[in-house]
Amino acid sequence: MLRSYPKFVPVLVALDCIELEPGSTVTIHGLGWEQFEAYLEELGEGRSARIAYFHGALEIMAPLPAHERPHRFIADVVKAILDAQGRDWEDFGSTTFKKKTADAGLEPDTCFYIQNAQRVRNCLRMDLEVYPPPDLAIEADLTSTTTLAAYQALQVPEVWIYSQNRLTIHLLRDDRYEQSQTSEVFGDLLVAQAIPRLLQQALQQGSSQVLRSLRTRLAEGKEL
Cα distances from 67 to residues 55, 61, 127, 163, 167, in angstroms, run: 26, 11, 27, 10, 14
Confidence band of 13 (pLDDT split at 50, 70, 90): low
Q: Tell me what pLDDT residue 185 has.
A: 98
Choose the weakest-confidence range: 62-66, 124-128, 133-137, 220-224: 62-66
pLDDT digits (tens, 9 = 90+) for 176-222: 999 999 999 999 899 999 999 999 999 999 999 999 999 999 999 99
Distance (Å, whole) CA 66 – CA 78? 20
Tell me the mean pLDDT in the region 51-56.
96
Q: Tell me what pLDDT residue 44 has.
A: 85
Residue 157, amino acid: P
Cβ atoms 110, 138 nearer than 8 A? yes
Confidence band of 19 (pLDDT split at 50, 70, 90): low
CA dihedral (107, 113, 117, 121) in degrees, to 10, reads 20
pLDDT digits (tens, 9 = 90+) for 148-160: 999 999 999 999 9
Residue 54 pLDDT exceeds 60: yes
Choose the weakest-confidence range: 10-14, 56-60, 89-93: 10-14
Kindly report the average pLDDT of the chain as a whole number. Answer: 90
Distance (Å, whole) CA 15 – CA 62? 13
- What percent of the chain lies above the pLDDT cut of 70? 91
Q: Tell me what pLDDT residue 66 has.
A: 74
- What percent of the chain lies above the pLDDT cut of 90? 75
Residue 159, amino acid: V
Residue 85 makes CB contacts below 8 A (sequence gap 6+) with none
Confidence band of 128 (pLDDT split at 50, 70, 90): very high
Q: Tell me what pLDDT residue 1 has.
A: 41
Q: Tell me what pLDDT residue 193 has.
A: 97
Q: Which of 85, 176, 94 is nearest to 134 (CA)?
A: 94
pLDDT digits (tens, 9 = 90+) for 62-102: 887 777 899 999 999 999 999 999 999 999 999 999 999 99
User: What is the DSSP secondary structure assignment for residue 114, as one 8-state letter?
Assistant: S
Region of 84 on the Ramachandran plot (φ > 0 left; ψ -120 to 50 alpha; else beta): alpha
Distance (Å, whole) CA 218 – CA 205? 19
Confidence band of 8 (pLDDT split at 50, 70, 90): very low
8-17 burial code (b ≥16 CB/10 A, e <16) = eeeeeeebee
Distance (Å, whole) CA 190 – CA 179? 14
Q: Which domains does the chain have, with CATH numbers?
A: 64-219 (3.90.1570)
